Copies of this chain bind each other. A is one copy, B any other.
Amino acid sequence: MRRTDKKQAILDTALALFVSQGFYATSTASIAKQAGVANGTLFHHFASKDELMNHLYLTIKQELANAITTHAAPCGELELDAKNLWNAAISWAIENPLKQAFFQQYSMSPSIAAEIKQQAMNGILGFMGELIYRGQKLGLLASYPLSLMLEGCHGQYLAATRYFIDHPDKWRDETHKQASFSIFWNAMKA
């Protein structure tokens, strides 16, 4: 087993257990045991259980950001850009149900410090803010306060993924796919 493998094993196991049992119901000992490493090894790589959680959160948010920027290169046409972005984000969630469930549970939970969430928000949803700003400049999107709209987007995203995770087959149905985007888009349209 290579060295980075142990760290990764800890992260993978922690993700699975945090999602299935919750942060507080998951002991660091159980993570270590299921990851096949010694108890102390977890603390060799992460200073505390909280730091492990934060690392997980930031890493996964970054993964989502990468998935989006990779699969949804902006073409300039606003609504198309938004749709590609939306589809990429939801696709990622469906392909990574564990990570999606992780966000679902911890996006609003106090298990992750507010500053960590803020940090992720700014870094990741940066392009979303930009897209909205552009849309408002062009008069295509409603001129509501930016942070209200961002909160709305985030909420819509969580709601939509919750739905599609519960009904995975619907995502392959073009009608439903389109429906979810329409709800998202109409909410913001001018």
Give the interface of A toward B (CB within 8 A).
21-25, 104-105, 107-111, 142, 144-145, 147-149, 151-152, 154-156, 158-160, 162-163, 166-167, 170, 176, 179-180, 182-184, 186-189
Contact of B110 with A108 in the complex, beta carbons under 8 Å = no
Contact of B186 with A144 in the complex, beta carbons under 8 Å = no
Contact of A152 with B148 in the complex, beta carbons under 8 Å = no
Choose among B109, B176, B188 the residue that contacts A105 (Cβ–Cβ < 8 A). B109
Contact of B145 with A22 in the complex, beta carbons under 8 Å = no
Give me 23 A-to-B residue pairs in the complex whose CB atoms sit less than 8 angstroms apart, sorted by A's number. Answer: A21-B110, A22-B111, A23-B24, A25-B110, A105-B110, A108-B158, A142-B182, A144-B182, A145-B163, A148-B160, A148-B163, A149-B183, A151-B159, A151-B163, A152-B160, A154-B159, A155-B155, A155-B156, A155-B158, A183-B187, A186-B186, A186-B188, A187-B187
